[in-house]
């Protein structure tokens, strides 16, 4: 350093002046008593800090928003599941209430209406060559058996036709090979509903002497030992007296085109 100062006196003088100014600036204070160097340094780095803070806040805010969205989505899923369960419970209690009001002896009524269900999502809405069949994401390891009833809060969907360990094929009630014991909810006349391949159901074995009105609700009778008693099946859209039995068409209460999730009735041990 000494050699540099000796060979280049102007450079040395300049360095000494800069050093002196720096030492003086360290001691200089602003009018409000702050050190000028610290105040100036803070002013200089503030834009950088502000940018870093903005970026950091944006990233953390995005992370929080993602976390909040996931929480809201989980809460919505939980509430949806609970809502479906409560709708099923309401439908079951209404059916039980009507049955209790009709029956003088009701010692075995609770057996008909006490059942547990398992929620399942639909994996495939249509199976090739089997338009009125679908696949759900639950199987034998979940307690599902052949002929397990598949329902929604709106009514009967169908039954399990094939079950693997992790999935099941469901035959919809509107399939031409499907059937269920049924009863007209108002008159209590019993018959059998069967799919007709058009998206509607036929209510068979209702005598032409009986009075059946459009709009009358058809519910499950429980006589098939598959579907719980008293669940909605559909409403009568037409009734034509034709020979011994009427030709009765029923519109299902379940909208099969909008199914996303179903409930599978678990069989009792």
Higher-confidence position of 203 and 260:
203
**Which SS3 state, helix, strand or coil, does residue 268 take?**
coil
* Tens digit of each residue's pLDDT (9 = 90 or more) over 69-94: 677 777 666 777 667 666 766 666 66
Of the given ranges (124-138, 139-153, 244-258), which has the lowest mean pLDDT?
A: 124-138
Does 166 score more than 50 pLDDT?
yes
- Please tell me the predicted confidence (pLDDT) of residue 216: 95
Q: Which segment of 93-107, 134-148, 159-173 scores lowest on mean pLDDT?
A: 93-107
Q: ∠ CA 61-64-68 to the nearest 5 degrees?
A: 135
Q: What is the pLDDT, as a whole number, of residue 24?
A: 55
- Which is more confident, 104 or 183? 183
**Closest Cα to residue 204, out of 243, 157, 159?**
243
174 vs 40, residue with greater confidence: 174
* Domains, the chain: 115-266 (2.40.10.340)
SS3 166: coil
Residue 61: predicted pLDDT: 60
Indicate the SS3 state at residue 191.
strand
How far from 56 is each of 21, 26, 46, 62, 63, CA to CA, in Å? 37, 32, 15, 10, 11
The string of pLDDT tens digits covering residues 86-139 is 676 666 666 655 555 555 444 444 455 567 889 999 998 877 777 899 999 999
Is pTM beyond 0.85? Reply is no
**Listed range (22-31, 118-127, 146-155, 245-254) with the worst mean pLDDT:** 22-31
Tokens 């037409």 correspond to what residue?
238
User: What is the bridge-based pairing of β-strands 232-242 and 217-220?
Assistant: antiparallel
Q: Which residues, in sequence order, are bridge partners of residue 262?
A: 120
Specify the pLDDT at position 42: 47
Tokens at 171, concatenated: 């035959």
Residue found under tokens 């049924």: 182
Mean pLDDT of the chain: 77
CA atoms of 56 and 62, how far apart (whole Å): 10
- What does the pLDDT read at residue 76? 66
68 has pLDDT over 60:
yes
């Amino acid at each position: 350093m000494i050699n540099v100062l000796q060979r280049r006196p102007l450079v040395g003088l300049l360095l000494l002046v800069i050093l002196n100014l720096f030492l003086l600036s360290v001691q200089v204070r602003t009018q409000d008593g702050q050190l000028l160097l610290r105040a100036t340094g803070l002013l200089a780095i503030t834009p950088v800090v502000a940018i870093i803070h903005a970026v950091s806040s944006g990233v953390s805010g995005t992370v929080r928003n993602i976390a909040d969205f996931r929480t809201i989505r989980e809460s919505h899923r939980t509430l949806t599941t609970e809502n479906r369960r409560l709708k099923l419970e309401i439908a079951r209690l209404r059916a039980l209430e009507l049955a209790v009001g009709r029956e003088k002896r009701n010692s075995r009524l609770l057996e008909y209406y006490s059942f547990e269900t398992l929620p399942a999502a639909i994996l495939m809405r249509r199976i090739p060559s089997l338009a009125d069949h679908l696949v759900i994401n639950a199987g034998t390891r979940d307690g599902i058996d052949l002929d397990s009833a598949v329902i929604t809060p709106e009514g009967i969907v169908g039954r399990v036709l094939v079950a693997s360990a992790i999935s099941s094929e469901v035959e919809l009630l509107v399939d031409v090979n499907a059937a269920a014991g049924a009863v007209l909810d108002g008159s209590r006349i019993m018959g059998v509903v069967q799919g007709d391949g058009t998206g509607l159901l036929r209510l068979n074995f209702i005598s032409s002497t009986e009075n059946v009105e459009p709009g009358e609700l058809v519910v499950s009778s429980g006589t098939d030992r598959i579907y719980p008693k008293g669940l909605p099946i559909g409403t009568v859209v037409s009734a034509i007296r034709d020979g011994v039995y009427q030709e009765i068409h029923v519109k299902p209460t379940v909208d099969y085109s909008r199914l996303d999730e179903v409930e599978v009735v678990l069989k009792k041990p």
